[in-house]
Amino acid sequence: MGSAPSEKVAAGVASLDHPDALSNAKSERPRIEDFLRSWGSLLLVAALTVFVLVEVNFSQLSPLKQIALFVTAGLLLCFLQVPIHPALRHSAWFRGLDYVFMALALFCCAYMLFEGNDLGQRAALYTTTDQAVGTIGLLLILEAARRTVGWSLPILAVLFIVYAHQSVAQQLPDWMFPHRGQDWESIIGQTYLRTQGVFGTAASVMFRYVFLYVVFGALLQLSGATEYIIGIAVRIFGKRSGGPAKIAVIASGVMGSLSGSAVANAATTGAFTIPLMKNVGFKPHDAAGVEAAASSGGALMPPVMGAGAYMMMEIINRPEPVRYIEIMQAALIPAILYYLSIFLLVHFSSKRIDAEKAAEEAASSAKNSVSALIEERGKHAPLFSFAGLSFFSSLTSLLVFLTIGLSPYRAVAYSAAIVVAILMIDPNTKVPLRSRFFSLGLWGSSTAAAFYLAPAGFVGSWGDALILGLALIAVVGIFSPAWAPFLHKMFRVTAEGSIPLIVAAASVGVIVGLVSRTGIGTAVPQAIIPLAADNLFLGLVAIMTCSLVLGMGLPSAVSYMLLATIIGPVFAEPQLGVPILAAHLFIFYFGMMAMVTPPVALAAYATASIAQASVFWSSMSAFRYSLVGFTLPFMFVYRPALLLMNETGGPPVWSEVVVAIVAAVLGIVALSSAMSGFLLYRLTIPMRVLLFLAASSALFPDQFNLLGKHLQLFDLIGGVLLATAVVWNWRSGQANLP
């Protein structure tokens, strides 16, 4: 299958760790070029970080200029760090082509900066130069998307362009929604020369909300938060059955919420957990599947949700704006249930593996080696440390700042400032004490200078001055011998997470721009709404299928943006009776599930390489471990109590919340046990069939109410079947004991 796109990005930006390290004598790449590329990439990522930090908090440019600079920076980083093909990385000719692409990207950016305002005034009367710039810019974006996220997104964008063109638009069959069609000039104008396409909502959300959270996640990772979370998980689960797999579930859930990138999350925690899972008896593809499923679910986990919550705040259209705390509250129970399902499946699978150990001595030896590794890791995981302080204080402060009404970008800037302050006083930070205190002094003095000396109206509070001081010390730190190694690593992680997001968002902008132009954005909902109105379940299945297909190969946040544009209007129909927030969470879930759905399961691609396992079987295993994730969206659409809301989106009836949670837990226990083949003891085939029936009943969103809406018939059936299976399995197991 080759390398996953995100792996190519990771390999490309790895040189940012050591920008001074020149290539060895055997390398075909000239030493000076290696040096310039490394430093050029480093300075570009640093400049982009400072630019976004300052611009979103102190907006000085027009939206078009902001996004043009942001997208161009992403293109430059892509062409600098991600080769046209891994096998051609050292080809002088193709590397020269990269520089040509970079020059063209800079030219297109400069053109948009200087001509942007006039372009809007001469819409539909574009000059030849306008069209040439738009065509070149569009091709560059599609090529960058191919390099970073694979073929699926650029192919989809090209299909939409063909679909929009007047030469085919009116020849389409009825089921493909024929329309009037657009000429090439209109398509270029819609997708590139105005703010409805490449420089539209998708890239704007990445610029205003998501990018700083990628930086925040990178900063936390370098502060030791990842190691701290793994260490705590080791302390709790390390010596229990399936300990390494349980560590993966817990650590991946926490870290995935911060990064929002399933692939980056899998690579970070999987490097430790996957080898240990293999050592305790998990097959390589199952170890990869556990890590991929756990890593993908991080985008659902409050409080950060991989910045998905902030995208919903921007996209959801209702009379009363949706609040962050409302999204976090709605996502909490489904996220816990998702991770509970993986945890239980891991637990039962581990018990079955333990029970099937035939060679006791070999098993004991393997366990002893794993126990030694876990015990060693646990020794270096104190409960109270500066890394733990950094993790908990930053997340707590982020939650508080968002709850009191600060903008997401201002909240994350303040939380990042807290992490930086802790790093400067942390004795474990590998920076001399004198340099750390000098940095604190520089930060304080620059903050005071910004507050008292900045032009009137630019800095209005000490908080504004603090952010400017933070930007200054980031710039100074790059060239500081003491801080440079730390910042180089942070910017490498930032680049690895942000390049695919920026490029993918720009590509999605092409599709979003054409959706409104061709009318397919209203035609698809109009086709699905009658089906959903007559049978909501069939309508939801159709939406799920569209979400999985359109979300293949895309980062979760970008996938949600695309799906919300095309499919989201379906739920605006009042007769469907689905609260708008529940509808968008439904779409978001299945966009995330595309990361573990074969054949394009990017999270499993990353973990398969770590586990040295088959990509196909790793994808299938990831799909199996995340199976409950495919039932949860249906459950909370039919039972909004799981989202802590009622059928109209208002406050829930708490008795319904309790019943819904209990039914979901019963179904998850039954399904996890049936899939793993173990409950209290090994399960026979009839027992597994009974448990599958119990899970189907408990998870089935039926409307056969008992005692009003407090209890449903199939919940009761599921509970009885599960209890029967437990008793049957216990008695059978006891009878077979020696």
Predicted confidence (pLDDT) per residue in 273-299, tens digit? 787 777 767 788 888 888 888 888 877
- Tell me the pLDDT tens digit for each residue of 56-88: 988 888 888 899 999 999 999 999 988 888 888
State what percent of residues in the chain have pLDDT above 90.
13
Residue 710 — pLDDT band, cuts 50, 70, 90? Answer: low
Which residues on adjacent β-strands are paired with residue 712?
705
- Which one has a higher pLDDT value, 262 or 209? 209
Which residues on adjacent β-strands are paired with residue 705?
712
Range scoring the smallest mean pLDDT among 71-75, 357-361, 474-478: 357-361
Neighbours of 61 (CB within 10 A): 13
Instruction: Give the chain's end-to-end CA distance (angstroms, integer).
Output: 49
pLDDT of residue 136: 95
pLDDT of residue 25: 39
* CB neighbour burial string for 244-267, b if at least 16 within 10 angstroms, e if fewer: bbbbbbbbbbbbbbbbbbbbbbbb
- Residue 137: partners with Cβ closer than 8 Å, 6 or more residues away: 105, 108, 112, 192, 198
Residue 242 — pLDDT band, cuts 50, 70, 90? Answer: low
- Tell me the pLDDT tens digit for each residue of 638-684: 888 889 888 877 888 888 888 889 888 998 999 889 888 888 888 88
Cα separation, 56 vs 45, in Å, equals 16
- Tell me the pLDDT tens digit for each residue of 90-99: 778 888 899 9
Decide if 297 contacts 338 (C-beta within 8 A): yes
Comparing CA positions, the residue from 582, 520, 518 lying closest to residue 550 is: 520
pLDDT of residue 67: 93
What are the φ/ψ torsions at residue 402 (nearest 5 degrees)?
-70, -35
Give the ranges where 58-178 is alpha helix by DSSP (H): 63-81, 92-121, 128-149, 152-164, 166-169
Scanning the structure block, which residue is given the tokens 């132009």? 517
Cα separation, 640 vs 618, in Å, equals 33
Cα-only R_g, the chain: 26
**Which amino acid appears at position 717 of this protein?**
I
597 DSSP 8-state letter: S
Decide if 261 contacts 497 (C-beta within 8 A): yes
456 DSSP 8-state letter: T
pLDDT of residue 110: 92
- Residue 265: partners with Cβ closer than 8 Å, 6 or more residues away: 252, 255, 256, 259, 295, 298
Comparing CA positions, the residue from 70, 35, 79, 78 lying closest to residue 51 is: 70
- Report helix, strand or coil for 705: strand
Residue 360 — pLDDT band, cuts 50, 70, 90? Answer: very low
Task: Please state the rounded mean pLDDT for residues 704-717.
Answer: 70
- Residue 45: partners with Cβ closer than 8 Å, 6 or more residues away: 16, 77, 491, 492, 494, 495, 498
Cα separation, 578 vs 599, in Å, equals 31
Cα separation, 384 vs 93, in Å, equals 54
Residue 402 — pLDDT band, cuts 50, 70, 90? Answer: confident
Cα separation, 222 vs 219, in Å, equals 5
pLDDT of residue 372: 53
Cα separation, 410 vs 396, in Å, equals 15
Residue 398 has pLDDT above 70, yes or no: yes
Decide if 199 contacts 67 (C-beta within 8 A): yes
Comparing CA positions, the residue from 419, 429, 421, 426 lying closest to residue 394 is: 419
Decide if 581 contacts 322 (C-beta within 8 A): yes
Which of 10-14, 235-239, 395-399 is most confident?
A: 395-399
* CB neighbour burial string for 206-228, b if at least 16 within 10 angstroms, e if fewer: bbbbbbbbbbbbbbbbbbbbbbb
Task: Please state the rounded mean pLDDT for residues 720-731.
Answer: 91
Domain coordinates of the chain in residue numbers?
5-201, 653-738
- Report helix, strand or coil for 245: helix
User: CA–CA distance from 544 to each of 260, 558, 585, 592 (Å)?
Assistant: 21, 17, 12, 11
For 449, half-sphere exposure in the C-beta direction (CA atoms, 13 angstrom radius) is 10
User: CA–CA distance from 4 to each of 264, 267, 499 (Å)?
Assistant: 12, 12, 14
Taking CB atoms within 8 Å and a gap of at least 24, the contacts of 42-47 are: 42/16, 42/478, 42/488, 42/491, 43/478, 44/73, 44/76, 44/77, 44/80, 45/16, 45/77, 45/491, 45/492, 45/494, 45/495, 45/498, 46/474, 46/475, 46/478, 46/487, 46/491, 47/73
Residue 523 — pLDDT band, cuts 50, 70, 90? Answer: confident
CA 248 to chain centre: 17
Q: Where are the beta strands (DSSP E) in 505-588?
A: none
- Report helix, strand or coil for 647: coil
Cα separation, 398 vs 28, in Å, equals 47
Q: In terms of C-beta density within 10 A (0-12 exposed, 13-18 middle, 19 or more buried), how is residue 679 classed?
A: buried
